[in-house]
Copies of this chain bind each other. A is one copy, B any other.
């Protein structure tokens, strides 16, 4: 009987699947796109500084800019991996929200490095708190999945509500 139905069912299941997948990742895709735009902005800044350097002072500025760009690029794959894992395992809205805050922190870090003002943070790791929050979301998502598989109890909705509330705590300075 299943065989007989399969042509219609297959199309129906496939269509449903894609809508459901898109429903659960489109915010993550948006944040990823934003981060790509930011990467391109950083790269263009470095490129512009590189072609325009003449005096010694500009050379130092280029050095600083290049270093800030490198630090940002070094943590970029880590950020993307944690963002997507958290979004897929648990809930996309808090993950995307944390991702946007991370991008803001990164922008401030880059500009601060540039301007040599008091904002300037020399650390290799910025946004540790956000990465920690996203990692925690992954762990909670996996634990919930294991509990659902072996114990039969599903706390996903409660956890998602708590996560949404907790994500606003990231706004604290």
* A residues apposed to B, CB below 8 Å: 2, 6, 8-10, 12-14, 16-17, 19-23, 25-26, 29-30, 32-33, 35-37, 39-40, 43-44, 46-47, 50-51, 69-70, 73-78, 80-82, 85, 88-89, 122-125, 128, 131, 135, 138-139, 141-142, 145-146, 148-149
Contact = CB atoms under 8 A, between A and B. Distances in A.
B36 A78 contact: yes
A12 B13 CA distance: 10
Nearest to A13: B16
Contacts of A37: 135
A40 B139 contact: no
26 contacts: A13-B16, A14-B16, A14-B20, A19-B149, A21-B88, A22-B89, A22-B142, A23-B145, A26-B89, A29-B141, A29-B142, A30-B142, A32-B85, A33-B82, A35-B81, A36-B78, A36-B81, A36-B135, A40-B131, A43-B75, A46-B124, A47-B123, A50-B124, A51-B122, A77-B77, A80-B81
